[in-house]
Structure 1
Amino acid sequence: MHKHRGIIFLIAAITFFSMMPIWVKLAYTTGLSAFDVTFLRSGMAAAMLGIFILYRKINFHVERQQLGPLLLSSTLGYTATMISLYLSYKYVSAGVATSLHYLFPVLVMLLEYFIYHEKLQFYKWMALLTSLAGIYLIAEPGGSSFSLRGVGLAISSAVFFTFYVLSINHPQLKKMDSLVLAFYDCLIASITSLVLLVAQGNWPLTLTLKGLYYTGLVSFFCTALALIFFIKGVQSIGSANASILSTLEPVLSLVAGIIILHEPLTWYTSLGCILIIVAVILIGYSDLSEDSPA
């Protein structure tokens, strides 16, 4: 029963996460930019998470040794991921952007191979080749919908998120409560994006009620609520199982983009997205087989 509840929590979290590109793209129609959405989403999510942490009576305190790793992971990892991913939504469809962002498990695997000299199983080599084939098909260089900038930004978001995933494994950050870490990630992302907006001369924001509505949806459902559900799900069924279930996200984003935004779909992009999802499942499967008793 505990595992079933964990699966329900995870599916709810993944469904909310998959709606993010749709609501961000709709926010763009109100005149907001990627930097505006990052600032608003992060600020509102930080406030929501802060209230939840106070309700749970969790300590906000950050040790001096944790400040450096926290600032680095929040700016070069979390904030850079959001901005590059949000920028990619302007040039490629929701499903393509999310699928390319899901290259991060493959990138984590490669870094572990080159930096930590971890041996790669057959499944992981297959995942690498499958993901590369998926990128080629999604890019579809000869196609009319090809955007080098969009593909580059979506892959950049995967690179930055890889850095974030590796950086939150820092010994000092592992001591922090996951909700407190998420709160500071959102708070620092909000401050960083505000600084960038002011530096670009794009402050104050021109905000409409519709723009506030869409960013509010992203903040509440795709950030605060999805994060709480995701943490509960991972704690119930484990990270390897959660990573396999998470491959539903690009599929749901692709379907939502077609239904809500009427985004075009080609055989190339469909097959490319499927190959990247297969690559992530292969990595998750190999992790499960490594964790299982001999």
Structure 2
Amino acid sequence: MMMSRTVKGYLFSILSAVVFGSLPAIAKLIYAEGLNPLSLVFFRNALAVPVLFGILRWKKISLRLTRRQAVQLCPIGLLCGLITPGLLFLSYVYISSGMATTIHFSYPVFVLLGCALFFRDRITPVRALCVLSCTAGILLFYTPGESANLFGMAIAFISGITYAAYIIALYRSCLQEISPFLFSFYMCLESAVLLLAGLLLAGQFTLPETALGWFATLGLAVAASIVGVVLFQIGVSLIGPQNASILSTFEPITSITLGVLIYREPFGLKTALGAGLILLAVTLLSLAEKRKGSPVAES
């Protein structure tokens, strides 16, 4: 019996969330092996390019893009391939991976706020309440007197905003007409070239110092730039960004669980309340918008 379009969308969205939720634990391991955050973002993209090229050749997918697709891919690819992961990976240095991922996960709120701002989507009482809940949850993560804590939170917060911009732009663009593998190929290629040039000019390019570091870096590159991105794109195309956002609650849950189990990261009552408020806000907001059938919720 074949799976329905909706079931496939749910499955792909959940798997994508689990993949992305596992990245912080892998990234912390890689940092210990000599790589800095931006160099890791470079390798995440660069190592994925030949793999994606092989997949495109195997599936006989043309590398050609229309002029309109190429113009839209440049900024959208940078948002997803360079800016968002660069900010998020940097935040892991300053705060726990679970906290960083949960703050980043506030992006569905920004998806809806962005639609309200740019597409005249009305701000309802439910939206306002969920925004307040999400804000309160983030504030609970802050520890007074710890500047590193505040800086890491700010970076993770901005990464959520940039990821929301990517989702809105992708959903409203013509890029859904092309293969997810083709989008990922050009996204990784563009981001890798620009980031390598910047790192070399700044003298900040580093390499993994051990075989374990190289192996973990390759694994993260494949998981983040190929598996996670492609699964999420397929999920969005099948069930819409709102449904995909609901199922993305598996991402911070996975990250928090692995952080506690592997790195013994603290997870007390205050942190649990903060995470709970953010996840509650995202879920309630997504469900409310789905029932109303708003533009961002349509599949």
SS of the aligned residue for 1:141 comes to coil
Q: How far did 1:102 drift?
A: 1.1
- The partner residue of 2:55 within 45, 52, 56 is 52
- Listed as ranges, the matches of 1:206-221 within 5 Å are 206-221=208-223
- Which residue pairs with 2:267 in the alignment? 265
- Cα distance in structure 1, aligned partners of 2:190 and 2:147: 35
Q: Is the 8 A contact 2:87 2:158 kept in 1?
A: yes
- Which residue pairs with 1:182 in the alignment? 184
Q: Is the 8 A contact 2:208 2:214 kept in 1?
A: no
2:137 corresponds to 1:134: yes
Letter of the aligned partner of 2:268 in structure 1? Answer: T
- Which residue pairs with 2:195 in the alignment? 193
Instruction: Report the number of matched residues.
Output: 291
Which one is further off, 7-16 or 260-269?
Answer: 7-16
- Taking only the aligned residue pairs, the percentage that are identical comes to 31
Gap regions ≥5 residues in structure 2: 295-299
Relative to structure 1, the CA distance from residue 173 to residue 241 in structure 2 (aligned partners, 3 Å threshold; closer, same or farther) is closer
Which one is further off, 52-61 or 85-94?
Answer: 52-61
Deviations 1:200-249 (CA, angstroms, capped at 9, x unpaired): 11346354211111111212233322334334444554443222111111
Q: How far did 1:59 drift?
A: 1.9
Q: Is the 8 A contact 2:114 2:165 kept in 1?
A: no
Relative to structure 1, the CA distance from residue 261 to residue 268 in structure 2 (aligned partners, 3 Å threshold; closer, same or farther) is same
Q: Is the 8 A contact 1:126 1:282 kept in 2?
A: no
Letter of the aligned partner of 1:45 in structure 2? Answer: A
Q: Is the 8 A contact 2:49 2:188 kept in 1?
A: yes
Deviations 1:11-51 (CA, angstroms, capped at 9, x unpaired): 33222211101001110000100111111111122222222
- Which residue pairs with 1:163 in the alignment? 165
Q: How far did 1:6 drift?
A: 4.4
Deviations 1:48-94 (CA, angstroms, capped at 9, x unpaired): 22222222222221223333332222235531111110000001111
Letter of the aligned partner of 1:181 in structure 2? Answer: F
- Which residue pairs with 1:123 in the alignment? 126
Q: Is the 8 A contact 1:121 1:286 kept in 2?
A: no
Which one is further off, 202-211 or 111-120?
Answer: 202-211
- Which residue pairs with 1:242 in the alignment? 244
Relative to structure 1, the CA distance from residue 67 to residue 233 in structure 2 (aligned partners, 3 Å threshold; closer, same or farther) is closer
- Listed as ranges, the matches of 1:1-294 within 5 Å are 1-2=3-4, 3-141=6-144, 147-203=149-205, 205-291=207-293
Q: Is the 8 A contact 1:69 1:170 kept in 2?
A: no
CA RMSD of aligned residues (A): 2.3
SS of the aligned residue for 2:47 comes to helix
Deviations 1:114-155 (CA, angstroms, capped at 9, x unpaired): 33321123322221111011111112336x696111001101
Q: TM-score, length-normalised on structure 2? A: 0.88
Letter of the aligned partner of 1:122 in structure 2? Answer: P
- Cα distance in structure 1, aligned partners of 2:31 and 2:101: 17
Q: Is the 8 A contact 2:30 2:213 kept in 1?
A: yes
Relative to structure 1, the CA distance from residue 83 to residue 146 in structure 2 (aligned partners, 3 Å threshold; closer, same or farther) is closer
Q: TM-score, length-normalised on structure 1? A: 0.89
Letter of the aligned partner of 2:134 in structure 1? Answer: S
Q: How far did 1:291 drift?
A: 2.6
